């Protein structure tokens, strides 16, 4: 071993990132390195000894944030977008464009690639201004117009601050655009989220801003995975946005295989990906609406699983493990985004389910929820709202409810949990509102609860 890798290994321990004391307990030394050994240094030693067997390229290539230079099976869409935007290169104003397609169908990637191609055109591109906004990160119409305007601010004093009236921001945005002039291509990615959050007022403003501009012209490129989002738009906004429309179809399994192979050849060493691995990742993702993001995530996770197993190859087994990990992650993420009372309800369901795995009755769930809500100082919701939340949890695939016949006692709904219980508890407890449930109860509460639920000790 050379001196550099050894220093790096020591650094990790010294920074305390593994929770270890700054001096490593001396339990013997590893081979000829003279380094003290503990289980962490054994891991580091073996990683360094084995070397990066699987990867030959930067593993970031498999991450969502990586922008690939090739987009197999999107040549047609790239051409369509380029044809629609091409007039801009000659100073003519292109039509507004709306791009639709389900998640992971390459919409953002295609637009990013066309934009990069335009920007490579030097002088011609200098007359154009691209502004890319992810509407998921835009809170208000104000901040959208502020962002557009500030793109053109060349000095601090020109920037639009916060706190102005909307009319004033709008006027300042127009003035700033007109100072530079030329064609402004505004990419509104996830445009449906902007409309869901703020209505279509700001789109109306943007669609008719050209009538008030002297030297600049605004073109909107909207991207949405909600195919129906224009249904609720003002008719004028709808027709302006829809001047050109491109639909991105989902990828099928063979197309996903091509996409994965293309990336795999850049990132993995030759021969480390077993036959069937790419096919399996593609097949799983094809079932999930043809989502390329999902396919890539599966391949990346499968490689990580293989590394953790110290395997020199990525096998189909690793893909199967990766799939179940990914599903768990998605479920846990889904739990994190539930509204607060729904989280408390889910927590009550998990508790009840732990006691009675064959299915819990809604009455018990409601009692459990009420107790937890009171413990957290919340006003419990009425049974009707809880029933709605139960349906929501069922729609999300977190629970399953079945009607069970109870002879002369009538029929009742029984609930089983469809998620890994041990991973879901911490996801719910991550919410500061529920965090108190993780702390030990006061003595009285413990006695009461255990009296209510003999044998129960809490998660």
Residues that bind ligand ATP (CB under 6 A): 64, 68, 71-74, 101, 103-109, 225, 259, 292-293, 296
Given Mg ion, ligand ATP, none, residue 250, with its beta carbon under 5 to 8 Å by kind, binds none
Q: Which is nearer to ligand ATP, 71 or 342 (CB)?
A: 71
Given ligand ATP, Mg ion, none, residue 64, with its beta carbon under 5 to 8 Å by kind, binds ligand ATP
Rounded Cα distance between 46 and 212, Å, is 66
Mapping DSSP to helix (H, G, I), strand (E, B) and coil, where does residue 320 land? helix
Given ligand ATP, Mg ion, none, residue 38, with its beta carbon under 5 to 8 Å by kind, binds none
How far apart, in Å, are the Cα atoms of 142 and each of 74, 139, 212, 272?
35, 8, 18, 51
Rounded Cα distance between 99 and 83, Å, is 14
Asked if 295 contacts 256 with a C-beta cutoff of 8 angstroms, the reply is: yes
End-to-end CA distance of the chain: 46
Q: Least separation, in Å, of the C-beta of 205 and ligand ATP?
A: 25
Q: Which is nearer to Mg ion, 108 or 351 (CB)?
A: 108
**Among 339, 419, 422, residue whose Cα is nearest residue 381:** 339
Given ligand ATP, Mg ion, none, residue 182, with its beta carbon under 5 to 8 Å by kind, binds none
Q: Which is nearer to Mg ion, 209 or 223 (CB)?
A: 223
Q: Which is nearer to ligand ATP, 73 or 441 (CB)?
A: 73
Secondary-structure breakdown of the chain: helix, strand, coil percentages, each rounded to the nearest 5: 55, 10, 30
Q: Least separation, in Å, of the C-beta of 59 and ligand ATP?
A: 14
**Among 434, 443, 442, 440, residue whose Cα is nearest residue 458:** 440
Place of tokens 């040549």: 75
Q: Least separation, in Å, of the C-beta of 293 and ligand ATP?
A: 4
Q: Which is nearer to ligand ATP, 106 or 222 (CB)?
A: 106
| From candidates 105, 108, 198, 255, binder to Mg ion by CB under 5 A | 108
Q: Which stretch binds Mg ion (CB under 5 A): 59-67, 81-89, 102-110, 250-258?
A: 102-110
How far apart, in Å, are the Cα atoms of 180 and each of 57, 161, 168?
41, 20, 19
Given Mg ion, ligand ATP, none, residue 441, with its beta carbon under 5 to 8 Å by kind, binds none
- 263 secondary structure, DSSP code: H
Q: Which is nearer to ligand ATP, 71 or 219 (CB)?
A: 71
Q: Where are the beta strands (DSSP E) in 41-112?
A: 97-101
Q: Which is nearer to ligand ATP, 145 or 299 (CB)?
A: 299
Q: Which is nearer to ligand ATP, 225 or 351 (CB)?
A: 225
Rounded Cα distance between 399 and 397, Å, is 6
Place of tokens 């479920």: 331
Distance of CA 380 to the CA centre of its chain: 31
How far apart, in Å, are the Cα atoms of 177 and each of 130, 200, 203, 216?
12, 22, 17, 6
Given ligand ATP, Mg ion, none, residue 71, with its beta carbon under 5 to 8 Å by kind, binds ligand ATP
Q: Which is nearer to ligand ATP, 73 or 375 (CB)?
A: 73
Residue nearest to Mg ion (CB): 108
**Among 240, 306, 247, 233, residue whose Cα is nearest residue 53:** 306
Residue 77 found at the interface with Mg ion (CB under 5 A): no
Q: Least separation, in Å, of the C-beta of 251 and ligand ATP?
A: 7
Q: Least separation, in Å, of the C-beta of 247 and ligand ATP?
A: 11
Per-residue burial over 26-54, b if 16 or more Cβ lie within 10 Å, else e, is: eeeebeeeebbbbeebeebbeebeeeeeb
Q: Least separation, in Å, of the C-beta of 262 and ligand ATP?
A: 6
Given ligand ATP, Mg ion, none, residue 149, with its beta carbon under 5 to 8 Å by kind, binds none
Using CA of residue 189, residue 191, residue 196, residue 202, what is the dihedral sign? positive
Q: Least separation, in Å, of the C-beta of 65 and ligand ATP?
A: 8
Residue 170 found at the interface with Mg ion (CB under 5 A): no
Residue nearest to ligand ATP (CB): 106
Q: Which is nearer to ligand ATP, 129 or 255 (CB)?
A: 255
Given ligand ATP, Mg ion, none, residue 94, with its beta carbon under 5 to 8 Å by kind, binds none
Q: Least separation, in Å, of the C-beta of 7 and ligand ATP?
A: 35
Q: Which is nearer to Mg ion, 222 or 380 (CB)?
A: 222
Using CA of residue 360, residue 362, residue 365, residue 367, what is the dihedral sign? negative
Q: Least separation, in Å, of the C-beta of 191 and ligand ATP?
A: 11
Place of tokens 């992650």: 329
Q: Least separation, in Å, of the C-beta of 204 and ligand ATP?
A: 24
Residue 113 found at the interface with Mg ion (CB under 5 A): no
Mapping DSSP to helix (H, G, I), strand (E, B) and coil, where does residue 27 land? coil
Site for Mg ion, rule CB under 5 A: 108
């Amino acid at each position: 071993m050379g001196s550099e890798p050894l220093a790096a290994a020591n650094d990790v321990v010294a920074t305390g990132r593994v929770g270890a004391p700054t001096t490593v307990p001396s339990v013997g030394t590893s081979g000829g390195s003279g380094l003290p050994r503990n289980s962490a240094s054994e891991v580091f030693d073996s990683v360094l000894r084995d070397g990066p067997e699987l990867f030959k390229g930067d593993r970031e290539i498999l991450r969502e944030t990586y922008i690939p230079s090739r987009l197999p099976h999107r040549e047609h869409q790239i051409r369509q977008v380029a044809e629609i935007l091409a007039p801009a290169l000659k100073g003519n104003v292109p039509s507004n464009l709306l791009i639709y397609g389900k998640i992971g169908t390459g919409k953002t990637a295609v637009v990013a690639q066309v934009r990069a191609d335009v920007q490579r055109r030097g002088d011609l591109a200098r007359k154009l201004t691209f502004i890319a906004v992810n509407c998921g990160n835009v809170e208000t119409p104000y901040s959208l117009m502020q962002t557009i305007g500030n793109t053109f601010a060349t000095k601090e004093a020109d920037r639009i601050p916060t706190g102005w009236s909307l009319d004033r921001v709008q006027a300042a945005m127009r003035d700033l655009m007109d100072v530079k002039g030329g064609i402004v291509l505004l990419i509104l990615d996830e445009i449906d989220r902007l409309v869901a959050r703020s209505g279509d007022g700001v789109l109306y403003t943007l669609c008719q801003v050209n009538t008030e501009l002297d030297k600049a012209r605004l073109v909107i490129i909207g991207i949405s995975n909600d195919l129906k989002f224009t249904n609720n738009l003002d008719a004028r906004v709808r027709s302006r946005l829809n001047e050109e429309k491109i639909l991105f179809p989902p990828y099928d399994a063979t197309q996903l295989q091509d996409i994965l192979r293309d990336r795999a050849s850049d990132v993995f060493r030759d021969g480390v990906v077993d036959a069937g691995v790419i096919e399996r990742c593609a097949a799983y993702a094809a079932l999930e609406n043809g989502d390329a993001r999902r396919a890539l995530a599966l391949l990346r996770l499968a490689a990580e699983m293989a590394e953790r197993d110290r395997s020199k190859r990525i096998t189909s087994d690793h893909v199967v493990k990766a799939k179940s990990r990914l599903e768990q992650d998605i479920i846990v993420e889904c739990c994190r985004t539930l509204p607060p009372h729904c989280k408390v309800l889910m927590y009550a369901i998990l508790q009840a389910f732990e006691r009675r795995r064959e299915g819990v009755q809604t009455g018990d769930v409601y009692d459990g929820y009420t107790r937890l809500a009171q413990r957290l100082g919340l006003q419990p919701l009425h049974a009707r709202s809880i029933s709605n939340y139960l349906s929501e949890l069922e729609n999300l695939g977190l629970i399953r409810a079945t009607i069970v016949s109870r002879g002369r006692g009538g029929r009742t709904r029984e609930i089983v949990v469809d998620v890994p219980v041990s991973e879901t508890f911490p996801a719910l407890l991550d919410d500061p509102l529920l965090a108190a449930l993780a702390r030990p109860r006061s003595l009285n509460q413990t006695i009461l609860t255990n009296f209510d639920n003999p044998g129960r000790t809490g998660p």
